[in-house]
């Protein structure tokens, strides 16, 4: 579909997809994926540790290759696409943003829990002062009301965000839930900023929610090739491109090229692609941060309790990003309950 793009797709294969890769991307893989995405016409490509700049750590998992080396390689490969980075205040700092700028990144996406936008105020200011295009990310958006989300979006826009994303980190928003949040944020900020949507596939609704988001007024949408992303993965970029093309909505992405990027570049080189298994569906169902999946799987293996049961409990407890250590706590609690013969919610011992 030709014509001036009405919608900008940001591809997060090399950031959200880093979770599914256990943060083991090589420079060669980054170059090949950026080359293919850039050629297909995707306008923004996000590159960073899965948990954002500064995420390489014992808590979140160490990167194989330093993220600034990967960002610089991505910048070299991209001819038309802008390279974006994502950071969570507290995991990363303004210093990380400055280094990303020096490597050539030009879009700064700053993420907070959906009720904590005020923790990012100085980061938006610093990013704008540097010259970045700025995007705010309200994570786990299902965890607050549309009205409150709109108030949080207002804080981000007042601080300097040029777009605010409704982020369905748990893949828990079901159609109208996503639409109501997009509408509320638009009502609050549309005269000053764009609105975006970032979906996960835990309930298989990433693409459908993205279409609804566009129809409601969102103009930036995230995806990842082959759905590579946390949990059951992100909305697949290639499916977004094909679907919007069929709807007659120009995205600037060549469908055949992006299909080739997914099939020929990502699929053969990625050891494990995300899918909707019991654990990731429970994430959508119970509203659990998608990035918790691999942490829960590791705890499941270590303590001999099912990952889906851990995640169900994590959802009930309402843990948010940054509370990864509580996954171990929950696993140990389940072990104890089993030892004392307490039945789990699924009836299993």
Q: Is residue 289 part of an annotated ligand binding site?
A: yes
Q: Name which of ligand LKJZXN5G, Mn ion, none residue 88 binds, using a CB cut-off of 5 to 8 Å depending on partner kind.
A: ligand LKJZXN5G
Tell me if 279 sits within 8 A of 293, measured CB to CB. Answer: yes
Both tokens assigned to 41: 């016409």
Q: Is residue 214 part of an annotated ligand binding site?
A: no
Considering only residues 8 to 27 of the shown chain, the ones binding ligand LKJZXN5G according to CB under 6 A are 16
Neighbours of 194 (CB within 10 A): 18
Q: Is residue 15 part of an annotated ligand binding site?
A: yes
Identify the bridge partners of residue 224 per DSSP, sorted by sequence position.
236
Q: How far apart are CA 218 and CA 197, in angstroms?
A: 7
Site string for ligand LKJZXN5G, 32-51 (x = CB under 6 A): -------------------x
Both tokens assigned to 309: 């049961």
How many amino acids of this chain bind ligand LKJZXN5G (CB under 6 A)? 13
Rounded to a whole number of angstroms, the minimum distance from the CB of residue 289 to ligand LKJZXN5G is: 7
Neighbours of 12 (CB within 10 A): 28
Q: Which is nearer to Mn ion, 227 or 305 (CB)?
A: 227
By CB under 6 A, tell whether 283 contacts ligand LKJZXN5G.
no
Q: Is residue 123 part of an annotated ligand binding site?
A: no
Q: What's the distance, Cα to Cα, between the start and end of the chain in Å? A: 54
Closest by Cα among 167, 116, 103 to 140 = 167
Q: Is residue 165 part of an annotated ligand binding site?
A: no
Chosen residue from 34, 74, 100, 139 binding ligand LKJZXN5G by CB under 6 A? 139
Rounded to a whole number of angstroms, the minimum distance from the CB of residue 345 to ligand LKJZXN5G is: 25
Q: Name which of ligand LKJZXN5G, Mn ion, none residue 291 binds, using a CB cut-off of 5 to 8 Å depending on partner kind.
A: ligand LKJZXN5G
DSSP reduced 3-state for 301: helix
Closest by Cα among 95, 78, 81, 92 to 10 = 81
Tell me if 180 sits within 8 A of 149, measured CB to CB. Answer: no
Q: How far apart are CA 51 and CA 57, in angstroms?
A: 10
Considering only residues 13 to 52 of the shown chain, the ones binding Mn ion according to CB under 5 A are 16
Q: How far apart are CA 265 and CA 276, in angstroms?
A: 22
Rounded to a whole number of angstroms, the minimum distance from the CB of residue 277 to ligand LKJZXN5G is: 18
Q: Kindly tell me the sign of the dihedral angle through the C-alpha atoms of 286, 201, 21, 108.
A: negative
Q: Is residue 319 part of an annotated ligand binding site?
A: no
Q: Name which of ligand LKJZXN5G, Mn ion, none residue 220 binds, using a CB cut-off of 5 to 8 Å depending on partner kind.
A: none
Q: Name which of Mn ion, ligand LKJZXN5G, none residue 216 binds, using a CB cut-off of 5 to 8 Å depending on partner kind.
A: none
Closest by Cα among 54, 36, 55 to 45 = 36
Both tokens assigned to 50: 């899965």
Closest by Cα among 241, 246, 267 to 40 = 241
DSSP reduced 3-state for 53: coil
Active site residue 19: yes
Site string for ligand LKJZXN5G, 165-204 (x = CB under 6 A): --x-x----------------------------x------
Rounded to a whole number of angstroms, the minimum distance from the CB of residue 35 to ligand LKJZXN5G is: 23
Considering only residues 68 to 107 of the shown chain, the ones binding ligand LKJZXN5G according to CB under 6 A are 86, 88
Closest by Cα among 38, 35, 29 to 69 = 29
Chain positions contacting ligand LKJZXN5G, by CB under 6 A? 16, 51-52, 86, 88, 111, 137, 139, 167, 169, 198, 290-291
For the annotated binding site for Mn(2+), the residues are: 16, 198, 200
Annotated binding-site ranges: 15-16, 169, 198, 200, 289
Q: Which residues bind Mn ion (CB under 5 A)?
A: 16
């Amino acid at each position: 579909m030709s014509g001036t793009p009405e919608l900008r797709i940001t591809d997060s294969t090399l950031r959200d997809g880093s979770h599914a890769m256990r943060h083991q991307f090589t420079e060669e893989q980054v170059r090949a994926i950026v080359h293919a995405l850039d050629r297909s016409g995707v306008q923004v490509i996000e590159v960073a540790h899965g948990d954002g700049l500064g995420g390489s750590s014992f808590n979140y998992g160490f990167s194989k290759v330093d993220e600034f080396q990967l960002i610089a390689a991505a910048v070299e490969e991209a001819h038309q696409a802008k390279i974006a980075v994502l950071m969570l205040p507290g995991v990363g700092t303004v210093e990380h943003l400055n280094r990303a700028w020096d490597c050539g990144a030009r879009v700064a996406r700053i993420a907070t829990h959906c009720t904590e936008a005020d923790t990012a105020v100085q980061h938006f200011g610093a990013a704008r002062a540097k010259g970045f295009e700025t995007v705010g990310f309200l994570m786990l958006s299902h965890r607050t009301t549309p009205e409150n989300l709109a108030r949080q979006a207002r804080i981000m826009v007042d601080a300097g965000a040029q777009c605010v994303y409704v982020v369905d980190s748990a893949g828990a928003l079901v159609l109208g839930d996503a639409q109501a949040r997009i509408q509320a944020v638009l009502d609050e900020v549309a005269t000053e900023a764009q609105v975006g949507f970032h979906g996960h596939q835990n309930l298989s609704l990433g693409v459908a929610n993205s279409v609804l988001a566009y129809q409601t007024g969102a103009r930036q949408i995230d995806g990842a090739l082959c759905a590579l992303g946390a949990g059951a993965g992100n909305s697949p970029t290639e499916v977004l491109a094909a679907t919007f093309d069929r709807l007659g909505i120009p995205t600037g992405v060549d469908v055949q090229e992006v299909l080739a990027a997914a099939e020929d570049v990502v699929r053969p080189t990625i050891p494990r692609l995300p899918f909707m298994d019991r654990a990731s569906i429970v994430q959508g169902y119970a509203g659990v941060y998608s990035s918790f999946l691999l942490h829960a799987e590791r705890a499941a293996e270590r303590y001999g309790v099912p990952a889906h049961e851990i995640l169900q409990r994590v959802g009930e407890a309402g843990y948010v990003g940054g509370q990864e250590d509580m996954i171990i706590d929950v696993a140990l609690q389940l072990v104890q309950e089993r030892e004392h013969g307490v039945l789990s919610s699924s009836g299993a011992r």
